[in-house]
Amino acid sequence: MADKNTSCAFRTSIGGQALIEGILMRGPKKQAIVCRTADGLVEKTEELKLVKDRYPLLGWPFVRGCAIFLDSMVKGMQALTYSADLVPLEEQGEPDPIDRWITAHFSEEKAKKLIIGTAVVLGIALAVFLFIFLPALIVGFIPALKTNYLVRNLSEGLVRVAILLGYMKLVTCVGDVKRLFRYHGAEHKTIFCYEHGKPLTVENVRGESRFHPRCGTSFLLVVVVVSILVNSVVRLDNSFARMGAHLLLLPVVVGISYEINRWCGGHDNWLSAALSAPGKWLQHITTAEPDDGMIECAIRAMELVIPEEKGSDAW
C-alpha cells in the first residue's frame, strides 16, 4: 500500500526546482521563479517554449527523456543564475576564472548565455567522469572484480551508487546547499498540498510530506540503477573501451529511466511503490524541512503556474 500522505487522486505535471533563496515552478504553459530578497519576494514569470513543439520526434517515448533532461538542465541553470544575481553583491563570492574571462571578452547578454552553456557542459562532463569513467577505472584496478563480465558490470554499478550517495552526503556539509535542500522540501510539500486539493496555505503545506515520487533526485538514482542493467550488454575487457561503450549507451539509459520515473509518478501500486522507494530514501539527504518563508516562496511560485483550465496540468 502506498503511504497515505503521499498518494494522490490527482497527479500534476507541475514540477519545480530549488534555487538560491527561491523556487522555480514549471507548469504546462509557463514557469515562474520566486525568490526572497531583503525587499520581499521577487517574481519572474515566462511562457514555456517546449522543444517537442518544434521537433515532435523529441516528444516520443524513450526519446523524450534525453531532450527533457537537457532542456531542464539549461532552464534550471538559467533560473539558478537569475536567483544568484539577486543576492547582494557583498554576499556574492568571487567569480571563477572561466566566468571572469567570458565577462571580459563578451557583451553582458552574450556572456550570460556562454556562462550558462559552459556550466551545463561542465556539469555533464563531471557527471560522465564520476559515473562512467571513474567506476570503470576503479574496478579495472581490482583484479578480483574482473573475474567475469557479470561481476564486473555489477561492481561498476555499485561503485556508481556509492559515488552518488557519497557526493550527495558531501554537499550537505555546505551551508548554502543545506538551505537549497530546505527549499527543495518546500517545493515537494507544496506540490503535494495542491495534489491533495487543499488550499495553498503555509499551515496546509507544512503538514505535507517532503518525499515525492516524481523528484528529479529520484530520477538520478533510477539512472544509476538502470545503467547496471543496460551496461550488462557490454562485454569488453579494456577499461577505456568500456568507458566508450557506456558513454554510447547513456542516451538509452536516460530514455529508459525517464519512462520508469514517469510511470511510477502516475501509479499507486506495489510495483510503483517499490520502484519509487530508493528515490524517496535518497530524498532524506536532498530535502529538509523548510521554514514558513520558504513555503511562502513555493506557494507563490505554484500559484503563478497553475493553469486556468482545471485539470489541464494532469500527469
Residue pLDDT tens, the chain, 315 long: 345 455 666 889 999 999 999 999 999 999 999 999 988 999 999 998 877 778 888 888 888 988 888 888 888 888 988 998 888 766 666 666 777 777 777 777 787 778 778 888 888 888 889 888 999 999 988 988 877 888 898 899 899 989 988 988 888 888 788 999 999 999 999 999 999 999 999 999 999 999 988 887 777 888 888 988 898 888 888 888 989 999 999 999 999 999 988 888 777 788 888 888 888 888 999 999 999 999 999 999 999 999 989 888 988
- Residue 135 within a domain: yes
Q: Residues 180, 3: contact at Cβ < 8 Å?
A: no
> Which of helix, strand or coil describes residue 31?
strand
- Residue 201 within a domain: yes
- Residue 103 within a domain: no
Q: Residues 261, 222: contact at Cβ < 8 Å?
A: yes
d(CA 50, CA 170) in angstroms, rounded, equals 34
| Amino acid making up residue 58 | L
d(CA 70, CA 76) in angstroms, rounded, equals 10
**Which helix (H) or strand (E) covers residue 117, if one does?**
helix 108-128
Neighbouring C-alpha atoms within 13 Å toward the C-beta of 151: 10
* DSSP per residue, 58-91: GGSTTTHHHHHHHHHHHHHHHHHHHHHHTS-GGG
- Residue 226 within a domain: yes
Closest by Cα among 261, 267, 299, 258 to 280: 261
- Residue 311 within a domain: no
Residue 143 structural domain:
15-67+127-305
Question: Looking at the 3D structure of the chain, how many domains does it have?
Answer: 1
- Residue 236 within a domain: yes
- Residue 297 within a domain: yes
| Amino acid making up residue 104 | A
C-alpha cell of residue 253: 539509459
- Residue 77 within a domain: no
